[in-house]
Amino acid sequence: MSIETTADATAAKSGSAATDRFRESGKTSTAEVSVERVSMLAGKLIQAANDIVLEERVSYDEFNALKAWLIKVGEDGEWPLFLDVWLEHSVEEVATDHREGNKGSIEGPYYIPDAPSQDSPATISMREDEDGTPLLFQGQVRSTDGSALPNAKVELWHADSAGFYSQFAPGLPEWNLRGTFIADAEGNFQINTMQPAPYQIPTDGACGQLIAAAGWHAWRPAHLHLKVSAPGYELLTAQLYFPGDPHNDDDIATAVKPELLLDPKPAASGTGVEVDYDFVLDPVQK
């Protein structure tokens, strides 16, 4: 029996897993959109593509190369990766531009719901020899009126020190560096984890082919993924980043915002670092 390790990870396997998870998420249900809006949106997208062809005098060779590449994106299962990297940041901006509380960010393709739950303070699930710098992530969840939100739910997930996410690369424990944490009666939470490292999105598939052909880079800065929620309040999805990362200014996913930068300090325990970051949630609009 062969045992796969993270060294066996490929874009196709990761992409296939992301596609399967998206199908299982229920997000594929048909949106209730009027015929008029579908016609308008689809028409604008098609017109924009035709305008590029005419303005840039696209050749048949280029057109056929595009066809072949679009087919490969599907074969590699990389549509979730492509859309989350290059389009989701704009959709997220539209969806949250009314909020008075914390700024959010993209979810990305590697979220898994229902991670094991623990009351705070807690330690995220990780291997005994998990590589990296210990990180204590702590703060408070409040409403926009300043009141604490007791028992708020904080979901946290992130890549390991090699840039791999559990359930999307072989050889990792199922819930490695994933967890759900319940804040205390004052909305306070403390989570022990490991500081993630920058990583490149998968480059051996269709998205990597585009990156190479365009002369782009594939790097994402180190980040924590979070979903923060409480009954009666809008779900906040965010990514939090670390200062000094060389790719904060040129993140391939264009997801970094100044409000999402952390301020790590030496941990009071003397081991690793700690960060304080509060979340302010907006009430659900009626």
Mean local confidence (pLDDT), 256-268: 95
Q: Which CATH class is domain 10-286?
A: mainly beta
What span, in angstroms and rounded, lies between the C-alpha atoms of 280 and 141? 6
Q: What is the DSSP secondary structure assignment for residue 12, as one 8-state letter?
A: H
Mean local confidence (pLDDT), 119-142: 97
Q: Kindly calculate the radius of gyration of the chain based on its CA atoms and give it in whole angstroms.
A: 20
Report pLDDT digits (tens) over 195-213. Answer: 999 999 888 899 999 999 9
For the chain, the farthest-separated pair of C-alpha atoms sits apart, in whole angstroms, at: 64
- C-alpha 104: how far from chain center: 11
The answer to whether residues 271 and 261 touch, using CB atoms and an 8 Å cutoff, is no
Q: Cβ of 241: how many Cβ atoms within 10 Å?
A: 23
For residue 147, name the pLDDT band (cuts at 50, 70, 90): very high
Mean local confidence (pLDDT), 16-33: 70
Q: Cβ of 65: how many Cβ atoms within 10 Å?
A: 13
Helix (H, G, I), strand (E, B) or coil at 65: helix
Helix (H, G, I), strand (E, B) or coil at 173: coil
Q: What angle do CA 131, 278, 141 make, to 5 degrees?
A: 110
Break the chain into its structural domains and give their ranges: 10-286
Mean local confidence (pLDDT), 177-183: 98
pLDDT at residue 194 greater than cutoff 60: yes
pLDDT at residue 179 greater than cutoff 80: yes
